Amino acid sequence: MKDNKVQIIIIFILFAAVNIVSFLTQDVINVKDGKGYDGDIYFSMAQNISEGNEISGPAPYIYRFGTPYLASLFNNENLLQGFFIVNFIANILSYFLLFYYLKLYLKNFSVILILLILFLTHWIGNARYIYFLPVNADPWSLVFFLTGLILIEKIKTGYSVLKIICLSVVSFAGVMFREYLIIIPLALIFSGNPYSSGKLFYFNFKNILKKNKYFIIPLMAGILGIAVSHLLVIDTSDNYSFIRTSLRWLYTKTLINYLHSVLITIGPIIVFLIYFRKQLSEFLRQNQHIAFLFVCGILLSYIGGTDTERFIIWFMPLILLITGVMIENNLSLVKNKMFIIILIITQSLSYRIFQTILQPSDDFKNETFKYPVMTVIGNGNYFNLTSIFADKEFAFILFTEYIIVIGILFFILRKESFTK
């Protein structure tokens, strides 16, 4: 019990430190009076709600009225402040939910602490990004995502009516914040590990029904939530289609663009998933609900649109968990001093730990240094922090740097494994 209290104190101090620094150093986005590119749509929705008008706007944004609704409740006189308050609350909840979730799989507090630091310090993570873009619908979706993950773990240990009701409520409400959260009740189907690795595309449906006989209830709740969200709003877009949009991105987004986004978002720690790929495969085989969500993350971030990095961040809890499992299972291999030094330096640069989030600009020639070092160095352009929008020469150099660093880390791990 005493150890738990000490751990809570440590992670609270860590959370406070990162948020205080972000508050003091990070400027709000300079687009549309601090609302951002999509934020003006959410802001308009919150205005309609606070004034008692019908909720109208373009799809798919209009169906995500959960955060605008909360913002209008907290401060309908100053909606920008309202968005910041509700997203700051989501920031707190997601952080402590992640801590709890990681403890379900990991025993080493030092490993958990490292993962929490990675979660907090990522430039596009909740703890920093809300100070840059407060009008944002993502933070609360992460709260529902983590809550759903924890409930699935609890259901795996034994069914109860209360657990199913809780997951159903999370599924119903979650899709009103972000529709992708329908994958949470779908993941429950895979919590009984129905896939047999010995047979391609074989699923033991008897095993699904035996271990997850009530999975249909949360799933129906999620579907009902999507239906309700469509009935409560007025779509003003011109014939929007999720399928058509997804197919367009599947065709137009290149594999190199996507891999670059993955490297930008995860950083050099991806070497753990690459080097320990056999252990990763076995872990996913034993936890097929996580494997299902992992595949969903890959697919949704590929076809989701231009903000690939932001879509990958939605699944960062899973990426951190899997990374933590690989580290905890191979602690003797990752204690090489050169490996640790290179990883800390490059990961810090990748996550911009000692730099703020840049402002968007149409001018790609305003870099203090034209060539990057794992990220934009000095003053620069927000768009060069992403893959699709970045200057092509800039992106190529950055991608090459990631490949070289990961190759060096891989070589050190390989050399270390031969000496053990």
The structural domains of the chain, with segments of one domain joined by +, span: 241-420
DSSP-derived letter for residue 26 is P
pLDDT for residue 145: 98
The Cα–Cα gap between 285 and 126 comes to 30
CA dihedral 270, 179, 166, 54 (to 10 degrees): 140
Residues of the chain with pLDDT under 70: 1-2, 197-213, 364-370, 420
Report which residue type is found at 298. I
Structure tokens at 310: 């932001």
pLDDT value for 171:
97
User: At 291, which amino acid appears?
Assistant: A
Distance, CA of 99 to CA of 113 (rounded, Å): 9
What kind and span of H or E run contains 216? helix 216-231
Question: What per-residue confidence (pLDDT) applies to 420?
Answer: 60
Both structure tokens of 333: 């291999």
The kind and range of the H/E element at 233 are strand 233-235
Per DSSP, what are the bridge partners of residue 57? Answer: 235
Helix (H) or strand (E) holding 235: strand 233-235
**Tokens 């191979």 -> residue:** 330
Tokens representing residue 289 in the block: 């609900």
Query: How far apart are alpha carbons 198 and 225 in whole angstroms?
Result: 37
H or E stretch covering 392: helix 392-419
DSSP 56: E
Instruction: Look at residue 328 in the predicted model and tell me its pLDDT.
Output: 95
DSSP states of 208-275 as a string? HHHH-TTTHHHHHHHHHHHHHHHHSEEE-SSS--HHHHHHHHHHHS-HHHHHHHHHHHH-TTHHHHHH
Count other C-beta atoms under 10 Å from residue 165's C-beta: 13
- Name the phi and psi angles at 195, rounded to 5: -80, 135
Q: What is the pLDDT of residue 138?
A: 93
Percent composition of the chain: helix, strand, coil (DSSP 3-state, to 5): 70, 0, 30
CB-based contact 220:41 (threshold 8 Å): no
408: left (phi over 0), alpha (psi -120 to 50) or beta: alpha
279, two tokens: 């252990």
The reported pLDDT for the residue numbered 4 is: 83
Give the pLDDT confidence score for residue 206 in this predicted structure.
Answer: 65
Which H or E run contains 347?
A: helix 337-350
Q: Return the axis-axis angle of helices 109-121 and 79-103, rounded to nearest 10°.
A: 160
Burial (CB < 10 A; 0-12, 13-18, 19+), residue 60, is middle
Cis check for the bond before 268: say yes or no (omega within 30 of 0).
no
Q: Which phi and psi angles does 379 have, rounded to 5°?
A: -70, 145
Strand partners, 56: 234
Q: For position 385, what pLDDT does the model report?
A: 92
Residue 172: the pLDDT is 97
| pLDDT given at position 326 | 96
**Residue 54 and residue 39: Cα distance in Å, rounded?**
18
